[in-house]
Structure 1
């Protein structure tokens, strides 16, 4: 597959401060790099330090906990100016496979804390400053699994992302009249380094080449009409557009970036 590259206006976000959660790998890292290349001052947060240099201020914080959100909000309040754009990239699933019966209360709570409450708590900390000055953008990254849950392994993740989408819509109703735009993005399969490693594992385990391994994943998803997953840079480009002045009238909407995976209107 040919990786996508984009021409980026180096001044589009000049003078803006952008906070990207979970920005140390995958689509989160691509989003950090896109905003930085477009002139923004970028802050990112994750539990562990990035393995390679990022054009961003890094804050070590576990945002699935109230203490981690407090740590990040404290840094924003003391070390950087007020945030203009918040992008909630943080998310994922570590729940065990086995369907609903394999998910105990602790597994459910972990998925909810990571995929919903991290965004809720951070918005609660940062949105008041946006409201006070009458401007700002909040973007929540959900997932197409909120509409197409995979019951074997991601029921709790899908439910938490569905809640995130509903919360995002409600927040848009409240913040829009106060000058703060709120949107959400729902990716499908993104071809990150983790996805690439998964393809390699499937190929080795099945004694097949990587193209056949990729096709097996496409088949499990019910097919992707464009025939491939999205590149992280494509997700980042959509997020940057929604955060830009070019999207000034886009508010309260969710945009799927899934190559046509969701088969319904």
Structure 2
């Protein structure tokens, strides 16, 4: 554990009983038997606020656009004349990636705000790797999503379903790019900790963010492509099965990771 001096501190946010109660519950769920400090309560409250609770208040235009996305295909079909199915499907394919990337950006902004209040930080001497935070089940979900998706895209193109295969391949490429960007961003951010306990909390939060970054968002495209762009029942069933299997593996991986954390307090 090494010390790193940060920028001059700014005004600290107010932390009340609610934030301490939330932090206490979070620590208990993580298997960490310790009372939350002011810093831990402030950081946990800040993350939740930055990621979810204040999204609609801070970005009303983006929230409104997201609310209207489900109605966009019908609007285009009504007022835009005859529009190819791929264009009607495109918004549904892009929104999951856009939302994932936006929340990742919000998280990074919140982390930078926390960093400004720390006159010094502690950090681990060895940089973390993504394999430190994900289980074999998470890796299985990624393999099913991306190898399965690219394989199905190639199969569709061979069968003459070029539009469906191209859109599926594009969704997989976009998923790889978003996942890689988010994972690297989480792994490369500095530790926000002032002692051993807060460093442990930082590890747990980093683990949560890495697992969130590798969530198989691209598998959502498996639901969207076959419904509108291909009538091949075998392809529809296979993509549906891949999607379900990916999410099941990811969910089992999360449960296994939680069980491991509670058995070995101190591991990320």
TM-score bracket for this pair, using the shorter chain length: 0.3 to 0.5
Larger proportion of strand: 1
Between 1 and 2, higher relative CO (CA 8 Å, sep ≥ 6) is seen in 2
Larger Rg: 2
What is the TM-score when the length of structure 1 is the normalising length?
Answer: 0.35
Q: More helix by proportion, 1 or 2?
A: 2
